[in-house]
Chains A and B, each alone.
Chain A
Amino acid sequence: MRTRESTFWTWHLLAGLVILVVLGIHMAIMHLSKLLGSGGPEHDVVLWYLVKERSLNLAFAVMYVVLLGAALYHGLYGLRTIIFELTLSERAEKVISALIVFVGLVLFIVGSYGTIAFYVLKGSVGGSV
């Protein structure tokens, strides 16, 4: 009962749900901790030692990769949809789909590599503040 497009679209919805949850956690910890009393840092959240602390936490590292993947998939599928509404030829649509998959994969690999490498190397790649 499924088609390729219905699978893509279902992933799009599920990715939206993942973003809602993960971004919600991110917002609660990083930006709304005072308002919600959710125990986030008191100081500027982008201070290096705080970033390092979070990135060495496995739960945060996993969350970053999941958020990156979900946001990239959700956003790029949306972009593909917008472009497809311009009434292009089937050939042009195939080229655009391939391009979007390529860009998405490259961005995901680069982003997740940074997160994983930092976690594995215990933060020894960074400087200090």
Chain B
Amino acid sequence: MIEAVSVKQTEKAEEIIKTVRFKVLRYDSNGMTKPRVDSFEVPVKKGTTVLDGLHHIKENLDNTLAWRYSCRMAVCGSCGMFINSFPKLACNTQITELEADVINLKPLPNFDIIKDLVPDLSVLFEKHRLVKPYTMRQDSTELDSPTGEFFQSVDELERYLQFAYCIKCGLCMAACPTVATDRRYLGPQPLAQAYRYSADSRDEGHGERKDVVFSPHGAFRCHFAGACSEACPKGVDPAFGIQLLKRQAFMGALGLMRRKKASAVAPRVSSAKRLEGVPEAPKRTVS
């Protein structure tokens, strides 16, 4: 009985609901051809994603079509593209949710094009690197030869957690109207990551990041359009992060910013007695 239902469900999932037209912007930065738009008919089943549609084209219609992808589950951030004039991940966008019979696909705006739907994200990574997106501490000895784990409360974790979900897909940069006009503007992704580390209770690198983050093309150039937060496929709110950076700058300029002391190494608990029903804690990652 269960098998019969399962087969029926599979058949239903395999059923072609409709056919949509993919209009794909084609361009090769190494070639001599001008940009053009190619059209492809793509059959749509329940749950078919834009990425599936592109695979259908590659396998059946035109094997020269280029795009970038890896994980197929909105984790790697590779398949960002401009889908019906909105930056989205192709793997995370079901065709039926677009409610359109024509799907316009273009590479992410605000980036140079390598080929077809493959943007050159190197500028994003360069800007990301500028904000020093890693933990910096005064006690480098502890960092180099750790004796334990740094303490962090749940509240301290909550201060930056959402920004740690960034997958560096570049959708926020593609959506940002300021990045579109000011190529030197750091942009939402690097700035949100600057906040992510500056807000981390284990970090003391705010002073080392400020010259870049609060430069003439840093956080102050954000117009707070909010397009970055709208575009983020992971629910990160970079626009909010940038406003928090601005608050840091404001308080810092007025001399009202509290000097942050990085959290210390958490003390080892050796004599504590585990309560009944509480499972054993996982082993320490640093011994």
Q: Using a CB–CB distance below 8 Å, which chain A residues touch chain B? A: 1-3, 5-7, 9-10, 13, 81, 84-87, 93
CB nearest neighbor in A for B250: A10
B216 interfacial by beta-carbon distance below 8 Å: yes
* B215/A5 in contact, CB under 8 A: yes
Contact with A along B183-226 (1 / 0, CB 8 A): 11100000000000000000000110011001111101100000
- Which residues on A sit within 8 Å (CB–CB) of B183? 87
Chain B nearest CB from A111 CB (Å) reads 27
Contact B182 A3 (CB under 8 A): no
Binding site for A on B (CB under 8 A): 178, 181-185, 206-207, 210-211, 214-218, 220-221, 246, 248-250, 252-254, 257
Complex contacts, A86 vs chain B, CB 8 Å: 181-182
In the complex, 18 of the A-B residue pairs with CB atoms within 8 angstroms, ordered by the A residue number, are: A1-B248, A1-B257, A2-B210, A2-B253, A3-B211, A5-B218, A6-B214, A6-B249, A6-B250, A6-B252, A7-B253, A9-B253, A10-B254, A85-B178, A85-B181, A87-B181, A87-B182, A93-B216
Q: Which residue, A2, A6, A10, A85, has most C-beta atoms of chain B within 10 A?
A: A6
Known contacts being A6-B253, A93-B216, is A85 close to B221, with CB within 8 Å?
yes
Q: Which residues of B contact A93 (CB under 8 A)?
A: 216
Task: Give the complex CA separation of A9 and B254 in angstroms.
Answer: 11
Known: A87-B181, A93-B216. 9 other contacts (CB 8 A): A1-B248, A3-B214, A3-B249, A9-B214, A9-B246, A10-B249, A86-B181, A87-B182, A87-B183
Residues on the A chain within 8 Å of B254, using CB: 10
Q: Is A3's CB under 8 angstroms from B221's CB? A: no
CA distance A60 to B254 in the complex (A): 28
CA distance A93 to B185 in the complex (A): 14
Q: What residues of A have a CB within 8 angstroms of the CB of B181 in the complex?
A: 85-87
- Chain B residues near A2 (CB, 8 Å)? 210, 214, 249, 252-253
Q: Report Cα–Cα, A86/B252, bound state, in Å.
A: 28
Residues of A within 8 A of B178 (CB): 85
Asked if B182 and A85 sit within 8 Å, CB to CB, the answer is yes
- Complex contacts, A13 vs chain B, CB 8 Å: 250
**B182 to chain A: closest residue by CB:** A85
Which residue of A is nearest B251, CB measured?
A: A1
Measured CB to CB, the nearest residue on chain A to B180 is: A85
Complex alpha-carbon distance, A5 and B212, angstroms: 10
A7 to B246, CA, bound (A): 11
How distant is the Cα of A1 from the Cα of B254 in the complex, in angstroms? 10
Q: Contact at B220–A5, with CB atoms within 8 Å?
A: yes
Bound together, the chains give a CA A80 to CA B177 distance in angstroms of 18
Contact B215 A84 (CB under 8 A): no
Measured in the bound complex, the distance between the Cα atoms of B183 and A5 in whole Å is: 18
Given A86-B182, A87-B183, check contact A5 B250 (CB 8 Å): no
B184 adjacent to A1 (CB under 8 Å): no
A85 contacts across to B, CB distance below 8 A: 178, 181-182, 185, 221
Task: Tell me if B182 and A84 are in contact (CB < 8 A).
Answer: yes
Q: Shortest 6 CB-CB distances between A and B: which pairs?
A: A1-B252, A10-B253, A6-B249, A85-B182, A3-B214, A6-B214
Residue of A nearest to B245 (CB): A6
Q: How far is the CA of A94 from the CA of B211 in the complex (A)?
A: 17
Kindly list chain B residues whose C-beta atoms are within 8 Å of the C-beta of A10: 249-250, 253-254
A19 CA to B254 CA in the complex, in Å?
Answer: 19
Residues of B within 8 A of A7 (CB): 253
Residues on A with beta carbons closer than 8 Å to the beta carbon of B217: 84
> Which residues of B sit under 8 angstroms from A9, Cβ to Cβ?
214, 220, 246, 249-250, 253
